[in-house]
Amino acid sequence: MSFRLDRRHFLGLAGAGTAAAALAACGGPDTSGTAATTAAADIDFSGVKPAAMFDFWSSHPGKSEDVEKQLISKFEAANPNIKVNLVTAGANYEETAQKLQAALAANTGLPAVSVLSDVWWFRFFINDSIISLDSLNKQLGVNVGDYRDSLVQDYQYNSKQWAMPYARSTPLFYYNKDHFKAAGLPDRAPTTWTEFAEWAPKLKALGAAQNAFQYGPLAGYAGWTMQNNLWGWGSGWSKGWDITCDSDDAVAAMQWIQDSVYKDKWAGVSSKDQGADFAAGIASTTINSTGGLVGILKDSKFNVGVGFLPGGPKASKPVVPTGGAGLAISAGVTKEQQLAAAMFIKFVGEPENAALFSSATGYMPVRKSADMTAVLAKTPQIQTAIDQLAVTKVQDNARVFLPGADQEMGKAVAKIVTQQGDVKATLADLKKTLTGIYEKDVKPKLKA
């Protein structure tokens, strides 16, 4: 498959059999037309008054329920005629998206504003289920240019804004400073995985932790975080639309991961939450979202260090994927609710409130002008997350644009890491599966 398409100009798919949206003439190919082609027209909100109440659906990313309630209280104090009803819509982004899909199918109970991950919002755009925020942002005086470029651009298509950054993250390398000191290791994250492979036996020999490193639950983390390993070894799940998960470099990366568990025996796999395992002292190091930073610091009884993700033998940077979620407004609610929701999104994104949310969770401050002085004085590790933005890389098409691919990646990695399956054969099977998804659900909807 030699077809190429810049991910900025591809809208993703709502699922198997869902038609793709039409693309503007911007150097890339077009898709067959759908309702999404008509969604670009801005809604006229002149003369509209905000609703007295609206629902805000969230999965409380980064254990953020308390700070969300705090932000809602501040918003309601500033806007006494508007009440925000916070709804726990799921335990994670996927459950929230599934609940929203169910509400859309039933055509009832839609939220005005919902937390949608940087992967899921594309699918709701395709269904014409969320609105462009441009006219609302203009009417409310939102300074979109003050949002961090790489974060706000993740929700832009055809020069329009479809969501605003909220709980945005990258993976971080977490390490137990006390274990590193006892093992005679430098007080920093490893530069490469090759370097860490030299350190890991020393950490394991300490006997202070069960594992030198803990991989995250594969169903939820493999497709996302292991892009770091694949990129570092010179490959990826895909390059453009070429599925490359079975390349020699990809096989080498996954073989190294399997060896760390079975052959070298210094790594383990978390059954639920690698951040919690790390904080409990089960592992000396792990990779976890920046959104878990504050919780890990709070729960750990030792000195916690954080650093950039390690590079690999072929690429030192960029090897860091972005992640997290934004806030989108439903198309199926009243204009009054949409306006009130937009006022809330603006409020949450104000520099002071962006800093507050970052301080409470560890997610990156989404505004350039957010004063992080007090936050960094209290939690200096957040600066590392901010600095790492400079070496982030757009995620592989195969993960974010092929419906169901993330789950298939998790299954394949689980077979390799928990069942000691043959690496080359497993990745070859994964390529067949991903290619099948592409050929059936994507390629027919694309034309040069």
Name the 3-class secondary structure at 148. coil
- Confidence (pLDDT) at 5: 41
- Give the number of other Cβ atoms within 10 Å of residue 80's Cβ: 7
Degrees, nearest 5: CA angle 330-34-134:
40
Residue ranges of the chain whose pLDDT lies below 70: 1-41, 126, 158, 445-448
- Confidence (pLDDT) at 209: 97
- Confidence (pLDDT) at 390: 84
pTM: 0.82
- The two tokens of residue 96 are 């929230």
Q: What is the pLDDT of residues 117-162, one digit of tens each?
A: 877 887 788 678 999 999 999 999 999 999 998 888 888 876 899 9
Q: What is the pLDDT of residues 171-210, one digit of tens each?
A: 999 999 999 999 999 999 999 999 999 999 999 999 999 9
- Confidence (pLDDT) at 37: 36
Domains of the chain: 39-168+325-370 (3.40.190.10), 171-321+395-447 (3.40.190.10)
- Confidence (pLDDT) at 403: 77
H or E stretch covering 120: helix 120-126
CA distance 59 to 289: 15
- Confidence (pLDDT) at 7: 42
H or E stretch covering 306: strand 304-307
- Confidence (pLDDT) at 436: 97
- Confidence (pLDDT) at 41: 58
Output the CA torsion sign for 407, 409, 411, 414: negative
Q: How do beta strands 283-289 and 211-215 pair?
A: parallel
- Dihedral (Cα; 68, 71, 73, 79), 10-degree rounding: -130
CA distance 350 to 277: 34
- The two tokens of residue 164 are 């605003």
- Confidence (pLDDT) at 446: 60
